[in-house]
Amino acid sequence: MIRIERSATISGLALAMALLATPSAQAQSADMTFFVTSNGPGKGADFGGLEGADAQCQKLAQAAGAGSKTWRAYLSTQPADGKPAINARDRIGKGPWQNAKGTVIAKDVAELHGAANNLTKQTALSEKGEVINGAGDQPNRHDILTGSQADGTAFAGPDDRTCKNWTSSTQGAAMVGHADRRGLRDDEPSKSWNSSHPSRGPDGGCSQADLKSTGGDGLLYCFAAN
């Protein structure tokens, strides 16, 4: 009986020392300024516009202990109803940005959109600090909604690249990037984190089923803008 109590005491001390030696996941997440959403609202690319997408980022950040920051979804919009386009790169603050593990993915907007950024499958983590399934995983979830060109700006042409500015879950198309920087070919679009290919599918291109069919799940990149 004494031996059991002594063992329990030693185990308790070891646990306490371990907790003191390593910061908690919650404490790490509090310093997080970038993540990939672990899930979407389930309505494909329909977030109710930019405000709804930002709210999705804010909600997940709040649950992870980083809700004190102002979070923005990395999404562009196209000109519509007399309103000008909005560039994703202009919405996300100045940086630097780090993931839930403390790894810096870019120091500023220029680096984020250049060859020196540190966005990979191992660093493009969810708000929970988890790796997002990529090419070769089941299911593949590497298609991240952006509606953006490679430099982070909106598309100017007539083709829909934002699922009607993030309000459609049927007709339209959304430009997506590959969070794992991998695709079907060894070319720049396949390796692009923010501008790989438009969505497509039998429902029209913007439904949850359509996004899943090409390797997505209605996920977003979220950045702390302050």
Q: Residues 97-120: what's their mean pLDDT?
A: 97
pLDDT at 86 (0 to 100): 98
- pLDDT tens across 81-99, in order? 999 999 999 999 999 999 9
Phi/psi of residue 148, nearest 5 degrees: -125, 155
Buried b (16+ CB within 10 A) or exposed e, 158-182: eebbbbbbbbbbeebbbbbbbbbbb
Q: Are 75 and 53 in contact (CB under 8 A)?
A: yes
pLDDT at 184 (0 to 100): 79
Which band of pLDDT confidence, cut at 50, 70 and 90, is reported for residue 157?
confident
Q: How many CB atoms lie within 10 A of CB 217?
A: 22
The two beta strands, 71-73 and 143-145, are unpaired
69: three-class secondary structure by DSSP: coil
Q: How does the average pLDDT of the chain come out, rounded?
A: 90
Q: Which residues pair with 223 in a beta bridge?
A: 34, 72
Between 6 and 78, residue with greater pLDDT: 78
pLDDT at 24 (0 to 100): 45
pLDDT at 193 (0 to 100): 98
- pLDDT tens across 125-141, in order? 999 999 999 999 999 99
Alpha carbons 74 and 199: distance in angstroms, whole number: 17
Which of the residue ranges 15-24, 35-44, 138-147 would you say has the lowest mean pLDDT?
Answer: 15-24
- pLDDT tens across 162-197, in order? 999 999 999 999 999 999 999 878 888 889 999 999
pLDDT at 9 (0 to 100): 43
Alpha carbons 179 and 134: distance in angstroms, whole number: 7
